[in-house]
Each structure stands twice: as structure tokens, then as C-alpha cells.
A and B are shown apart, each in its own frame.
Chain A
């Protein structure tokens, strides 16, 4: 299992692996928004929590179809399915590798992006905390979507259609936590709900993803 994780991380940072793609995409979205809505500080401050979370969501979405598509193309998915690791373990490791290469860097870099959107000072710790709690759910749910669409030619668009609605609860509570943090209100409720979504996804979805993969490999 560790071997699979290390291989996926190694592949992500080598040429064509897509590491940094999500981060660059996040940066561009965040730069585009002030250009679109104008530089008024109070307007940006009001929309910053929502924009940051939507941008994080889209950045995660960008690399989802790589999770299984490349392994399916070169045949390693078939070979992994006949390997001693249970398929549930494979999808969990794949989701973890996806989070380590997209969700975690996004979380760590988010204060910088908050600055670009004039996010008020008290909101920064809550931005990082909510992204840290919420992005694992994005990776796990996305892995499920990728498992459903593996083997489809140009399945990327279908993947977005399937996965984005499932991202809604995470987006709602994540952005709400940052907004409350920015206004100095209590953030416990949205954060607890966010953590609950993440834990629920991690507990249930690997089994669904493995089942979807088994059907798609037939």
C-alpha cells in the first residue's frame, strides 16, 4: 500500500504528472475574479470566502480524471485488481495521493490567495482549517466519481457533472465557516458539519468506489 502511495506521488511530481496544475489553476481563478468584479475592497471582502472555496473545488476537480484514467490506459489497473491489495485499499490510497498532491498544497497556500481577494485578517486561520477539514472529502468523493467513469472515452465532463453536485454540502459548510470567521462569529457548527461530511465520505465511499471499479473492469 505504501508502495502504491509512493509511486503515485512520484508520478505526480514527474513530468506530465499534474502536480502544481491545481495550484496554478486556483491562482488564476483567484486573480481573474478581481478583474471581473472590480477592485472595490468591501465587495471583494464580502465574496472572498465563497470564491476561495469555489476555486478550491474546481482546482480539485481538474485532476480527478487522472486518478484512474492513466492506470486504466496502460493496463496497470487490471494488474492492481489482481494484486494482493484489496481494491478498497487501492482506492483509499489513490484518494490519499490525490489529496496530498492537490488538497494539501491548496490548504497551505490558501492564505496567499486570501490576500489577493482582500480576505479580512481574522478569517485566515478559519480558511486554512476549513480547507484542511473539507478537501479530503473532495478527494474521496472525486475518487468515487473517477471510479464510476473510468474506461469512458472523454469521461472528464461526465465526471464533473456527477461530482459537482456531491461537492455542494462541503462547499456550503466550508464557505460558511470562513464567512463566520471573517465576521468574528462562532465557527464551530459549520466546522463540525464539515468534518462530519469528510469522515462519513472516508468511511463509506471507498467501498462504493471499489464496487464501481469492479463493474467497470469487466
Chain B
């Protein structure tokens, strides 16, 4: 990824971000709230176009996980996971359930899960995508200490198996393979953002 600039709601937030990530390595994005961690991840995941610069990895190598886990509360844990496994064409959900300690909850509707259990299910989805690059936005929110350690172990296995990971997180997962990128260095020039707020009457009907 070279010289990337990205914007949130027509407001440029980051510019000149460049890095390369080798196989088996993780990159942790750091920076104060609002610096553009989520925006950068969404741009890299192909959900929004970059203002400038280029991303070299193909979008079909990415598994993206946002703040929201994308769970259907009316479906059970196993049904939620089986749906994503089917979408990504991988099929078998048993190893992922086992790995994230969800097997006992498999038949429980997602609406009866605690916040931490929902997050574990959201992270189990990454395992059934079978994709090498994980892009995670605050993956450890609402996880307890044991689950954070579990996720750290899962992450290490993923990296050891030739995967890559990009994370916006403030918690230390204990990854020796991780590099840290401080995003506040890349803040966009505020003058570029000066005339971004000119909405006129566009929103009169919204």
C-alpha cells in the first residue's frame, strides 16, 4: 500500500500512509479516537475508494470484521456461522466453533448471547472465511481476559499458517509478530478539509 489518502464523509482524514506487510506478520494501528483507524480499514477492505494512492492486495484476500458482528439475532450460533461459511464457500463450521469455545452455545439463538459471546461468534466468522488477510476493527471489545488470550492464540495460529492481520486495537494481544503503526503522523492537512461542509438543501427531505 503506497501513499494512501482516505476520507470520511467527504472530509479527508489521512494522507501519505504507506506500509508493506510480510506474510506471517501483524500490523497494529494506533492513534487517538477519530484519527481514521476505521476509515483506513474500510478503505483497505474495499468498502470505500481511496482519495489517492493505491492498495496492492486483491480485495478477495480480505476478511473484514467491524465493530458490528453482522449477527442475526433470530438465528442460532451455528446457523449464523454456517451462513457465512456457505457464503465464503468453506463449509465446515465445527473447527471454528471448537476453536472459539462456542460448541456448547451452538444451538442458542444469538439474541440470548452476552456481548462477549457475540464477539467470539463474530471472530469465529473470520476462521470460516478461509481468507489470509484479517482486517479487524477493535476485535477485543467486550471480551474478558480469558477470551482475549484465546483470541491472541487464534491470531498466532493464523499468522503461523501464513496469514496476515491488520488491527486497530489498544489492547496488547502479546503478539511477537506485531508491528505498530502510529496513525496520528498521517493526519490530513486541515485546509484540505475546509470547504467539505457545504451541504445546501440536500438533506431537507431526509
Contacts and interface: CB of A to CB of B under 8 A. Distances in A.
Interface of A: 2-4, 7, 10-11, 14-17, 73-76, 78-85, 152-153, 155, 158, 161, 217-218
Contact of A7 (B47, B59, B75): B75
Shortest Cβ-Cβ A-B pairs, 4 listed: A75-B68, A3-B86, A76-B70, A218-B48
Given A14-B75, A80-B87, 10 more contacts: A2-B86, A7-B83, A15-B74, A74-B68, A78-B42, A78-B47, A82-B47, A82-B59, A83-B87, A218-B47
Interface string B105-122: 000000000000000000
B45 A74 contact: no
A12 B49 CA distance: 33
A94 B20 CA distance: 38
Interface residues of B, number: 32
Contacts of A3: 83, 86-87
B134 to A, nearest CB: 12
Nearest to B65: A79
By CB atoms of chain B within 10 A, which of A82, A85, A158, A161 has the most? Answer: A82
Interface string B171-206: 000000000000000000000000000000000011
Nearest to B83: A7
A10 B79 CA distance: 10
B74 A16 contact: yes
A107 B71 CA distance: 32
Nearest to A149: B206
Contacts of B62: 82
Given A82-B62, A152-B206, A74 B70 contact: yes
Contacts of A7: 72, 75, 79, 83
B87 A84 contact: yes
19 contacts: A4-B83, A7-B72, A7-B79, A14-B74, A16-B74, A73-B68, A74-B68, A74-B71, A74-B72, A76-B68, A78-B47, A78-B64, A79-B84, A79-B125, A82-B45, A82-B64, A83-B88, A85-B87, A153-B206
B92 interface: no
Nearest to B49: A218
A76 B97 CA distance: 19
A162 to B, nearest CB: 10
Contacts of A80: 87
Contact of B64 (A17, A79, A155): A79
